[in-house]
Structure formats: C-alpha cells, structure tokens
Structure 1
Amino acid sequence: MHVVVLPGDGIGPEITTATSQVLRAASEQFQLGLVLDEHAVGHASLARFGTTVRPDLLGLVKAADGLILGPTATFDFKDEARGEINPSRHFRKSLDLFANIRPARTYPGRTNRVGDFDLVVVRENTEGFYADRNMEEGNAELRVTPDVVISMRRITRPCCERIAEVACQLAMKRRKHLTIVHKANVLRMGDGMFLDICKATASRYPELAVDEVLVDAAMAHVVREPGRFDVLVTTNMFGDILSDLTAELSGSLGLGGALNMGADHAMAQAAHGSAPDIAGRGIANPVSLILSAALLLDWHGTRTRQPRFVSAAAAIEAAVADAIGQGQSTQDIGGSLGTAEAAAAITARLQA
C-alpha cells in the first residue's frame, strides 16, 4: 500500500511522525508492505515552492492508495492567487471526498461525565454552507452592501443519496441504528430533501432502526445521553459542529479520528487543527491522526478485499484503547507522556 504523507503545519509534523511510527509497526506485524511517501504542504511548501500545494502533488495522491494529511494552518491561507491554497479543501474537492466519517467513543479506565458511548457521525463533505466548495466558479458568499452579506447553501439530490447510502451501510455493520440529523422545520426545502432522501435510502435496509432529530435537539441529546446513538448522518456544517462535540465528549478533540472518503480515494485527517501555540513542545496528542490512519487502512482493506489491512486497523485501535486505559497518554487526557512517548506506548503494544 502506497500512502502519501503530508505533515502540515504547527503540531502536524510531530503527530505525523508519531503516526508513521505506529503505521510502520503495524505494517511489519501484519505484512502490509506500507510505503510512506512524505511531501511538504502548507507553510513549508509555500516557503519552498511558492504555493501551499504544489501542482504535481494531486497527481501523486491520485496514483497512491491513500493520503494522510496533517493539520494545516488553513486560516492563514486566504489568497490562492499568491499560492495560499487551503490543502484540506483542495484535496476534499479535487478527489471528491464526499463522506467525512468521524467516530467518537469513550475508553475504559478514563472517568467520563456523560457515560460510555461509541458512535459515528457521517458528515456530507462537499456542499452545504461551505462557501469555498459549493460553487463551480467563484464563492458562495456575496457582499451586497458594506453591511450586508449573503451566504448561499447548496444541497443536491446526488450528494444526499450517496451520503445516506454510506451511513446506512456503516450502520448495518454496527448496531443497526441510524439517526438522521436535520433542520427541516426551518430549512424546509434543503433539509427537507435531505431528510426525505435519507428515509428513502434507509427503507431499503429493513433491519435498520431509523429515527430523526432536529440538529439543536441532537446537540442536547448528545450531551445528555450520547450512548443512545450509533450512526448519525447529517449535512456538512451540522456534521462539522456535531462531530467536534462528540469527540470532545469522549475526552478530547485529540481522540477524534476522521476519514474523508470518496468512491476511489480517501484521506486520513486529524479532527483538530494545527495548534501553533503548542507546536514544537512535544506534548501534542497524536491519537487523532493515528486513529484516522487506522480508518484509512480499514477503508483500503475493505475495498480491495485484503483482510490483513482491516485486522491491522483493529489492532491499532485496540492498542490505542489499551494505552489510554493504562494511563499511557498525553497530558490533555490525564496522562504524563509526550507525543513521541505516547506513540511509543501504542507501538509497543503492536509489537508485543
């Protein structure tokens, strides 16, 4: 398996190095033959090549079996004419990575204020309110007057159908419970269509238990009783917010894995940002990117029918859980280890 690795900005290089270490251990243990091909992206690429994403990088990624993207300083990149391309948006849009899979779970051995849970937010990833990705040309935010801005939201039937299908298939592999999160009482046309399509898609899976909840109520229910949920499917911005909440409820945003997947490509990406305030200090939690990389292995193994990749992914997740349960983790979740030491603790479990 050939994987392009883009370390990114801030803490990106630190957690990417940690993730690569874990992946190499998994590769050796499960005979995966992983080839990790590292390239600069973000500020490092801008300084070296005059652009945050050099033109030939997309071709390299398309030719590979997967992509690992470390956190990048997206807020810094405002002018594409000056080479300031948002790497995350660039790859999500260019590779049509329409599904953002965001698991969140609690871990035995850690005190949790909301009770145990294990859920997945399935987020549509290519349209919605995101002004930089829902237009063929131009931007979906318009300044009408100095004091008036209009932000347009795009919802399409094909995008609703494919994200609903992914969510149903995932729910069938888990506890067979699908929750549709929407705001159709206010956004009657857009979310109304999303809700109808999700229901129609789910009707083809008679074993699924299906319910629906308004997004504001969903936030309250997730905080009060997250264990009631299994797979939640929703539109782009709602999913962005909801998945950060569920990751944080599990103990830290640093525990939230994320996979951006399409029909032919997938990108592992940490749920959090580049955290420049702690960059270079060796204290960043690498678990989010490690779990994201495990999701990438599982995706590749499933689509290519190679069970050893699926087994490797499960082993990484188990090693992470055991390390956290034994308190061998970074400070943000109650441990005392640094980034490299936390990765070593996970690696040691894979090698045992």
Structure 2
Amino acid sequence: MAWRSLPRLRHILRESSGSSPSRIGLWFTESRRSVTYMPRPGDGAPRAVTLIPGDGIGPLVTGAVQQVMEAMHAPVFFETYEVHGDMATVPQEVIDSIRRNKVCLKGGLKTPVGGGVSSLNVQLRKELDLYASLVNCFNLPGLPTRHENVDIVVIRENTEGEYSGLEHEVVPGVVESLKVMTKFCSERIAKYAFEYAYLNNRKKVTAVHKANIMKLADGLFLESCREVATKYPGIKYNEIIVDNCCMQLVSKPEQFDVMVTPNLYGNLVANTAAGIAGGTGVMPGGNVGQDHAVFEQGASAGNVGNEKLVEQKKANPVALLLSSAMMLRHLQFPSFADRLETAVKRVIAEGNYRTKDLGGSSTTQEVVHAVTSQLD
C-alpha cells in the first residue's frame, strides 16, 4: 500500500509547494481513505484471534492452521469456541470475543436446508456488520486447470439482497420473500471494491447485476457503482448481466479482474470462479467490516465436506491456510504472511502432497507436514 501512495504524495506536495499549510492540511482531510480490509496500523505485539473450528472438516483444517502457526512462531494466539450450524443462535460469548479481538478465523458452519432455521454464517455477518465478502480466485503454479492467467477478486455485498431473510408465508402455499437493497449499502460495497482495486494496483472493476429485470433494486446498485467509479478515473469500470457473466467466466475468465456484486450473485460468481481456478479447497477469503474481520475458506461450496473426508482425515487445508495468511497481513504481520503463502505454493507446485480434490491421496496431516517443512 505504501509504495503506491508515496509517489502520489510527493507529486501533491510538489504541486502544493506554493500553497499555505492550511491548504495542504485540507488536501489530507479531503483525500483520507475509508478503512478497508487492508492492513491497519499495529504495534507488532502478539494478537488474540477468535477461533471457531466449525462443523465437518472445520476442526481438521483449523487444526492444520494452528499447527502451521505454531511451527512458524507466528505472533498470534487463539481463543477457541465451539459453534455448530444447528445452534439457534451464535453464543453471545463468541460475539463478545470477536468484538474484543477484532479478528476471527472460522471453519465452515453447516446451514440446515429449509425448516426455517437461520444460518449462523448470516447471523455473524449481520451482528458484526461484515458488509464485504472478499474471495480471491487465482491459478496456483503446478495445479493444472482449464484456464490460465486467472486472478479474480470477487467482492460481494454481504448483508442485504436475498440474504436479508425477510420472508413469510402469506397464506398456506404462498411465500413472500423480499430482496432489500439500500443506497447506503450499495455505495459502501462499491467504494470498497474501487478502494481495494486502487490499493492493490488492479486495473478494472466489473459490476455484476440483473438490472434489466430487477430495475429498481439492481438499478440502485448500478447507480451507486457508477457514481463511485467517477471518483477513480484511473480504474476501468464496466458492467455485465449476471447470466452473461457466468457464461463469460467459464469461457474467458482472464478478462475479469475485480468483480463487485450484490449478495446472491456474488455467492454464485465466487464459487464459479473458484471452480475455474482450481477448486474451492484452495481459494482464500474473508468477511470484513469497519471494525471486525472473519477469515475463512473463500468459496462456500462443500465447505463442511462430507463424512468420508472427516473419517479419512483427508480434508484440504490449503484454502484456510491461505486465508490465515490474509489474516496475518491484516494484523500487520506481512513477513509471516509471505512465509506461509510461499510455503503453501511450493507444496502445490511440487505436487507430492495433494488431497483428493486436487488429484492426490494425501491426508490433511501430510499436507501440514509438507507445508511446515517448506517454511523458511
């Protein structure tokens, strides 16, 4: 982030050399950027992180992260809480822990299908106002895929849309479900996407929508994206209808850079992009807000695995290991994040230790040992 800002600062100060100090101060006030998921100032002291192992393969992959963190002597320690998808609500002590620590690492939580049971994943996002979901889908060297040069960041609005949960049965056999979208949340996610693109030297932001049918709701989303785009002239902006987006993703994914989407579309787009780039088992991500961040496997499809994977202990820990590297960078420990990412990528590139979803037969523990042996 600093290398991008410094030349710009020098340029501004040169242009302002004849300006009064108050004018320079005004520039700093006007151009101050809002907080994004990017690293925030830290003092380097060890940090407490709330840990939710979750359901299914969750305890396996979160356990893998704990082992690797210990092996690299990362300056974090975990407060572990048992939370399961069949609970009525997220326990208050867990919410309090995340509010206190600001950061959480989470395994998958199973969401019951139907029956009126609320998703704990959605509860967490709403309770902590984790308004942005970020999933990075990219090719890993040594892992063959149908497409090359894929490096897509899907940024999804995380609190509104079809996930608002506002539905009821009007009369028996007739259910009404509301898709709620507001100007505030649409502008907030659009600004987040452009800010992320700017800070990470990305070239293009694509808004995914269905405004040709949902003219008011998705029209509001597009209006917000267009307004924010005018403030970032150095970043190319375009729009694509969600059904065409899916077709373009599976035929020419390298055309996409940063994608910003409403809630439901983002879930579908992120999982599609993850499948194209190598599978959900290797894609990192997180849910972030103004004050808190929850890091987890980026793409949600099958994130709790199946019983056979759990019994054989062959769950893929790569996605959560890369998500924990994102977490380390968020906590202002970039050297540890780089070490972890490098070690994971070396293991994937060598190809000797891969779980079943990547074409191998390794156990979770064998992958962990391989990663720890690659730590510099």
Q: Please report the TM-score for the alignment, with normalisation by the length of structure 1.
A: 0.87
Q: 1:220 aligns with which of 244, 247, 261?
A: 247
Asked whether the equivalents of residues 343 and 371 of structure 2 are also in contact (C-alpha less than 8 Å), the reply is: yes
Counterpart amino acid of 1:179?
Answer: T
Counterpart amino acid of 1:4?
Answer: T
Q: 1:124 aligns with which of 157, 179, 188?
A: 157
- Report which of the two structures shows the higher radius of gyration computed on alpha carbons: 2
In structure 2, the partner of 1:305 is none
Runs of 4+ in 1 over 3 A off after TM superposition: 76-80
**Secondary structure, in 3 states, of the residue corresponding to 2:260?**
strand
Q: Does 1:68 align with 2:105?
A: yes
CA distance in 1, matches of 2:120, 2:233: 40
Check 1:39–1:337 CA distance in 2 against 1; reply closer, same or farther (3 A cut).
same
Asked whether the equivalents of residues 7 and 13 of structure 1 are also in contact (C-alpha less than 8 Å), the reply is: yes
Check 1:10–1:77 CA distance in 2 against 1; reply closer, same or farther (3 A cut).
farther
Check 1:193–1:228 CA distance in 2 against 1; reply closer, same or farther (3 A cut).
same
In structure 2, the partner of 1:345 is 370
**Secondary structure, in 3 states, of the residue corresponding to 2:232?**
coil
Q: Does 1:142 align with 2:168?
A: yes
Counterpart amino acid of 2:129?
Answer: D
Q: Deviations over 1:147-185 (max 9, x none)?
A: 322211011111111111111111121332111111111
Q: Which moved more, 1:213-222 or 1:86-95?
A: 86-95
Q: How does 1:123-202 map to 2 (within 5 A)?
A: 123-132=156-165, 140-172=166-198, 173-202=200-229
Q: Does 1:55 align with 2:89?
A: no
Check 1:343–1:34 CA distance in 2 against 1; reply closer, same or farther (3 A cut).
same
**Secondary structure, in 3 states, of the residue corresponding to 2:162?**
coil
Q: Does 1:324 align with 2:357?
A: no
In structure 1, the partner of 2:335 is 311
**Secondary structure, in 3 states, of the residue corresponding to 2:79?**
strand
Q: Does 1:88 align with 2:88?
A: no
Asked whether the equivalents of residues 14 and 280 of structure 1 are also in contact (C-alpha less than 8 Å), the reply is: no
Q: Please report the TM-score for the alignment, with normalisation by the length of structure 2.
A: 0.81
Counterpart amino acid of 1:96?
Answer: D
Alpha-carbon offset, residue 243 of structure 1:
0.2
Counterpart amino acid of 1:275?
Answer: G
Asked whether the equivalents of residues 164 and 180 of structure 2 are also in contact (C-alpha less than 8 Å), the reply is: no
Check 1:117–1:190 CA distance in 2 against 1; reply closer, same or farther (3 A cut).
same
Check 1:35–1:192 CA distance in 2 against 1; reply closer, same or farther (3 A cut).
same
**Secondary structure, in 3 states, of the residue corresponding to 1:4?**
strand
Q: Deviations over 1:233-289 (max 9, x none)?
A: 000000001001111111211112120000000001223321233223211111121
In structure 2, the partner of 1:297 is 328
Number of equivalenced pairs? 324
Counterpart amino acid of 1:344?
Answer: H
Q: 2:144 aligns with which of 111, 118, 126?
A: 111
CA distance in 1, matches of 2:368, 2:286: 20
Q: 1:276 aligns with which of 306, 316, 328?
A: 306
Asked whether the equivalents of residues 149 and 254 of structure 2 are also in contact (C-alpha less than 8 Å), the reply is: yes
Q: 1:230 aligns with which of 253, 257, 273?
A: 257
**Secondary structure, in 3 states, of the residue corresponding to 1:67?**
strand
Asked whether the equivalents of residues 219 and 242 of structure 1 are also in contact (C-alpha less than 8 Å), the reply is: yes
Check 1:144–1:52 CA distance in 2 against 1; reply closer, same or farther (3 A cut).
closer
Q: 1:3 aligns with which of 46, 49, 54?
A: 49
Asked whether the equivalents of residues 74 and 86 of structure 1 are also in contact (C-alpha less than 8 Å), the reply is: yes
CA distance in 1, matches of 2:335, 2:201: 16
Check 1:237–1:76 CA distance in 2 against 1; reply closer, same or farther (3 A cut).
closer
Alpha-carbon offset, residue 56 of structure 1:
1.8
Asked whether the equivalents of residues 250 and 276 of structure 2 are also in contact (C-alpha less than 8 Å), the reply is: yes
Alpha-carbon offset, residue 316 of structure 1:
2.2
CA distance in 2, matches of 1:16, 1:78: 29
Q: Which moved more, 1:310-319 or 1:66-75?
A: 310-319
Alpha-carbon offset, residue 310 of structure 1:
2.5
Question: Unaligned 5+ residue runs, structure 1?
Answer: 133-139, 302-308
In structure 2, the partner of 1:135 is none
CA distance in 2, matches of 1:311, 1:218: 36
CA distance in 1, matches of 2:114, 2:83: 12
Question: Unaligned 5+ residue runs, structure 2?
Answer: 1-46
Alpha-carbon offset, residue 131 of structure 1:
4.0
Check 1:65–1:77 CA distance in 2 against 1; reply closer, same or farther (3 A cut).
farther
In structure 1, the partner of 2:75 is 33
CA distance in 1, matches of 2:106, 2:185: 24
CA distance in 2, matches of 1:59, 1:110: 40
**Secondary structure, in 3 states, of the residue corresponding to 2:112?**
helix
**Secondary structure, in 3 states, of the residue corresponding to 1:188?**
coil
CA distance in 2, matches of 1:14, 1:192: 43
Q: Does 1:21 align with 2:47?
A: no
